[in-house]
Amino acid sequence: MKIDNDTIKYIANLAMIQLDKDEEEKYAKALGQILTYTEVLNEINVDNISEDSSLVKEYNKFRKDEIKQPLDRDVILSNAPDSEGGLLKIPKTI
Amino acid sequence: MELNELTIHELKDKLNKKECTIPEIVSSYFKKIKEAEPKVDAYLTLLENEAMDEAKTMQEKFDKGESTGILFGIPIAIKDAICTKGVRTTSASKILDNFISPYDATVMEKLHSEGAIMLGKTNMDEFAMGSSTEHSAYKTTKNPWDLSRIPGGSSGGSAAAVAAGMAPCALGSDTGGSIRQPASLCGIVGLKPTYGLVSRYGLIAYASSFDQIGPFTRDVEDLAILLNAISGHDEKDTTSENREKEDYTEALVKDVKDIKIGVPKEFLGEGVNEEVKEVVLKAAKKYEELGAKVEECSFKVADYSLATYYIIACAEASSNLGRFDGIRYGHRASEFKDLKELFKKTRQEGFGDEVKRRIFLGTCVLSSGYSDAYYVKAQKVRNLLREEFAKQFEKYDFLLTPTSPTTAFKIGEKMEDPLEMYLADICTVPVNVAGVPAISIPCGYSKDGLPIGMQLIGNYFSESKMIRTAYTYEQNTEWHNMHPNI
């Protein structure tokens, strides 16, 4: 399948990754090549096969609701790019 | 023989006989690291002061008879995808360049409680996406057998460190072959455990339904010891199985007379190097001589596993890597006009080429209009692959294949063509798609002196029998005693 520059721009926007004009072609080409390779799967008939491929069949695993020592706030914030007053700081959103 | 050339079990013996001390062991590895690391580039972070301090404290305990744990005083190297408390953990990505993990992965807690000493964090392909370590944002690790070649990947730093005698053992992670392929290309032993045998808590996620942490060692006995240390249920990972703990060292028995091995012809066909094929078929013959029943078989859907893997793994990656947004930790772009631009620029600057390719592929196959044709279809094929494995294991205990279709390739050789690089995983990927375990052990060398590994694939939770089968071959051959001259 061929991926054009508009499609790669659309996908990059969904993926929240800025794409420079000169990168569009490179990624469009690579993506097209890989998708074409995956089309080998069209050779197989999967009509009656389940799409649930989870290996873990026990869906709900419960444990006791116990209070445990949480991670230290200062330690967590020491990894944050920006923080103030014990909170994560981000640009104005509204 | 220098201490750094010994196996875990040999080091344990020497310690118990008081023929060496823990600080001597640890310093022998740092001595080797000083010599070889500038050539090999296996580590991203070295912890010499911390390891030496720990070694001294542990020696005092040992002298008082207070040593506990099956890895007491044994050094280990850790792949940088595994969270280590208070230690820089980057997953070889610029987006985590300054990340100091606030907590330990469950495997690290287990290693500490067994007395292991961390030497450092090893290089890898960024977020474990690659087969050569060339996709690391920091450096390319070199193969200790030939410095112009790659060590395999993504856990290439861990494999190269063990092969070069810069660690007796290491942990890696395997999503499509990232433990077995570098183990094979570096001439050591590596295991991808059954999905759910080892906790993934604290492993920086690439593709959650495939990822497993596993061991690299110099021989199969060491592998059993290290697997004993890291396996077991963890309530912090709901996909880890709650089952009775096995002692894998009990499987160190030389006997394969009850073992049936199938050699699927599809794994020896087009694209597999003739020398690799010849060496693997010789190993099959050796198993026959040792009393196992060996026959050629056919694995029908092998051709579809790579496409299935890349669709599902990338879909999961596109979701898992959504967490890297420049808000809570890691890199943040310095210039942006609003929150959306902060996200987009942070991710543009922080992720490398291969990671972006896989996020785009994953985003594409999950997007409206594509998901039925790609993602849903691949999930169905995944079930077909599992059914095929189940059929095989009705007849055979193990399938024997090459681990890698070629020996270690030249640095730069496959960097221009992503698809060429993906084909390096052709023999290992089906295992992760099904979630079954597989081991890679050395089984010969090419004419130009490069290691070749074979892969034994077994049914779910067949690690004990797999260790016995691998051990029997190893103890009847000399490959595990060969080491690179570096």
Q: Is B347 on the interface with A (CB under 8 A)?
A: yes
Which one, of B122, B272, B256, B90, lies nearest residue B184 by Cα? Answer: B272
Angle CA B412–B414–B419, to nearest 5:
155
- Per-residue pLDDT, A62: 81
| CA dist B67 → A62, B142, B229 (Å) | 36, 37, 15
Residue A28 domain flag = yes
Residue A32 domain flag = yes
Residues of B annotated catalytic, as ranges = 79, 154, 178
SS3 per residue for chain B: CCHHHCCHHHHHHHHHCCCCCHHHHHHHHHHHHHHHHHHHCCEEEECHHHHHHHHHHHHHHHHCCCCCCCCCCCEEEEECCECCCCCECCCCCHHHCCCECCCCCHHHHHHHHCCCEEEEEECCCHHHCCCCCCCCCCCCCCECCECCECCCCCCHHHHHHHHCCCCCEEEEEECCCCCHHHHHHHCCEEEECCCCCECCCCECCCCCCCCEEEEEECCHHHHHHHHHHHECCCCCCCCCCCCCCCCHHHHCCCCCCCCEEEEEHHHHCCCCCHHHHHHHHHHHHHHHHCCCEEEEECCCCHHHHHHHHHHHHHHHHHHHHHHCCCCCCCCCCCCCCCHHHHHHHHHHHHCCHHHHHHHHHHHHHHCCCCCHHHHHHHHHHHHHHHHHHHHHHHHCCEEEEECCCCCCCECCCCCCCHHHHHHHHCCCHHHHHHCCCEEEEEEEECCCCCEEEEEEEECCCCHHHHHHHHHHHHHCCCHHHCCCCC
Contact B338, B405 (CB under 8 A): no
Query: Where is A26: in which H helix or E strand?
Result: helix A21-38
- Per-residue pLDDT, A93: 83
Tell me the pLDDT tens digit for each residue of B161-216. 999 999 999 999 999 999 999 999 999 999 999 999 999 999 999 999 999 999 99
Residues of B in contact with A9 (CB under 8 A): none
| Alpha-carbon span B161 to B41, nearest angstrom | 9
Contact B226, B477 (CB under 8 A): no
User: Which residues pair with residue B122 across a beta bridge?
Assistant: B43, B79
Residues of A in contact with B325 (CB under 8 A): 16
Cross-chain residue pair B325–A88, CB shorter than 8 Å: no
Residue B140, C-beta contacts closer than 8 angstroms, at least 6 positions apart: B41, B132, B133, B134, B150, B411
Nearest to B419 among A8, A34, A72 (CB): A34
Residues of A in contact with B328 (CB under 8 A): 76, 79-80, 88
Alpha-carbon distance A92 to nearest alpha carbon in chain B (angstroms): 7
Q: Is B98 on the interface with A (CB under 8 A)?
A: yes
Going residue by residue through chain A, which has 94 residues, state the pLDDT in tens, using 9 for 90 and above: 889 999 999 999 999 999 999 999 999 999 999 999 999 999 999 988 988 877 766 677 788 899 999 999 999 999 999 999 999 999 988 7
Residue A24 domain flag = yes
**In chain B, % of residues over pLDDT 70:** 100
Better-predicted residue by pLDDT, B423 or B54: B54
Alpha-carbon distance A49 to nearest alpha carbon in chain B (angstroms): 6
- Is pLDDT above 80 for B395? yes
Cross-chain residue pair B348–A61, CB shorter than 8 Å: no
Which one, of A30, A19, A45, lies nearest residue B304 by Cα? Answer: A45
Nearest to B356 among A27, A53, A91 (CB): A27
Q: Number of CB pairs < 8 Å for A and B?
A: 151
Cross-chain residue pair A51–B376, CB shorter than 8 Å: yes
Q: Which of B99, B127, B321, B364 to mutate to test the interface with A (most CBs of A within 10 A)?
A: B364
User: What does the mean pLDDT of chain B come to?
Assistant: 97
Residue A16 domain flag = yes
Residue A38 domain flag = yes
Cross-chain residue pair B379–A79, CB shorter than 8 Å: no
Tell me the pLDDT tens digit for each residue of B222-253. 999 999 999 999 999 999 999 999 999 999 99
- Is pLDDT above 90 for B410? yes
Residues of A in contact with B195 (CB under 8 A): 55
Alpha-carbon distance A5 to nearest alpha carbon in chain B (angstroms): 13
Residues of B in contact with A88 (CB under 8 A): 327-328
Residues of B in contact with A79 (CB under 8 A): 98-100, 102, 328-330
- Which parts of chain A are beta strand (E)? 83-84, 87-88
Tell me the pLDDT tens digit for each residue of B140-152. 999 999 999 999 9
Q: What is the mean pLDDT of residues B325-348?
A: 96
Residues of A in contact with B99 (CB under 8 A): 79
Count of domains for chain A: 1
Cross-chain residue pair B344–A44, CB shorter than 8 Å: no
Residues of B in contact with A18 (CB under 8 A): 341, 344-345, 347-348
Tokens coding B333: 């772009």
Nearest to A14 among B98, B363, B374 (CB): B363
The model's pTM is 0.97
- Per-residue pLDDT, B84: 98
Residues of A in contact with B308 (CB under 8 A): 41
Domain map (residue ranges) of chain B? 3-255+456-481
Residue with tokens 């640095």: B411
- Interior/surface letters B452-474, b for 16+ CB within 10 angstroms, e for the rest: bbbbbbbbbbbbbbbbbbbbbbb
Chain A residue with the nearest C-alpha to that of B346: A17
Q: Is A86 on the interface with B (CB under 8 A)?
A: no
Residue A75 domain flag = no
Cross-chain residue pair A11–B386, CB shorter than 8 Å: no
Pick the CATH number of B3-255+456-481 from 3.40.50.300, 3.30.450.20, 3.90.1300.10, 3.40.50.720: 3.90.1300.10
| Alpha-carbon span A13 to A32, nearest angstrom | 17
- Per-residue pLDDT, B67: 83
Q: Is B329 on the interface with A (CB under 8 A)?
A: yes
- Per-residue pLDDT, A52: 84
Tell me the pLDDT tens digit for each residue of B40-80. 999 999 999 999 999 999 999 999 999 889 999 999 999 99
Residue A86 domain flag = no
Distance between first and last Cα of chain A:
40
Cross-chain residue pair A41–B341, CB shorter than 8 Å: no
Identify whether B462 is preceded by a cis peptide bond (ω within 30 of 0). Answer: no
Q: Is B485 on the interface with A (CB under 8 A)?
A: no
Domain of residue A9, residue span: 5-42
Q: Is B238 on the interface with A (CB under 8 A)?
A: yes
| Alpha-carbon span B402 to B452, nearest angstrom | 8
- Per-residue pLDDT, B141: 98
Contact B297, B265 (CB under 8 A): yes
Nearest to A30 among B329, B344, B357 (CB): B357
Which residues 26-85 on chain A approach chain B with CB closer than 8 angstroms?
A: 27, 30-31, 33-35, 37-44, 46, 49-56, 61, 63, 71-72, 75-76, 78-82
